[in-house]
Structure 1
């Protein structure tokens, strides 16, 4: 992100496949990745790309991970 490798110790694989050229996520959009990164069709696939924030519906109400912060969200 922003030219820096992200540390993600919570992933099962040490590497997420998929090549992305330099990408700037538009101000009104999100870059989304599936939870099964090796087999997900997500923003890395040109047929999906970045998702407009206005197209996202739902609300997070419960956190499972990290386990020391499990519980309801405000």
Structure 2
């Protein structure tokens, strides 16, 4: 749960404690390496300019729908204290032509 919003969010963990995160010109770099994000749509633009070293006990999260996601790039949310994590998604179900896989 994000204490600042008082609501639960489901987001992807992008950076963990000690990581140097850089978001610039739509690209996401962790510790100087461009990360490959096959899980987001190729036409998706990752907005924002971020340059931060993630502090101990915190994570940086982003939604997969980068152009319409309230996540750590939002100043009202910011980095998330790991004590506020309530769970982990381990399976994701997609629907395609009424067939689930």
Give the TM-score taking structure 1 as reference length. 0.69
- CA shift for structure 1 position 22: 1.4
Unpaired runs of at least 5, structure 1 = 66-74
- Give the secondary structure class of the aligned counterpart of 1:54: helix
Deviations 1:7-49 (A, max 9, x none): 1122113553222231111110110111321100100111111
1:32 aligns with 61
Unpaired runs of at least 5, structure 2 = 1-29, 94-101
2:22 aligns with none
RMSD of equivalent CA atoms: 2.0
Which structure shows the higher helix fraction? 1
Range with bigger deviation, 37-46 or 12-21: 12-21
Distance (whole Å) between structure 1 residues aligned to residue 61 and residue 49 of structure 2:
13
Give the TM-score taking structure 2 as reference length. 0.53
Which structure shows the higher strand fraction? 2
Query: How many equivalent pairs are there?
Result: 64
Indicate whether 1:50 and 2:79 are aligned: yes
2:51 aligns with 22
Highest relative contact order (Cα 8 Å, sep 6+), 1 or 2?
2
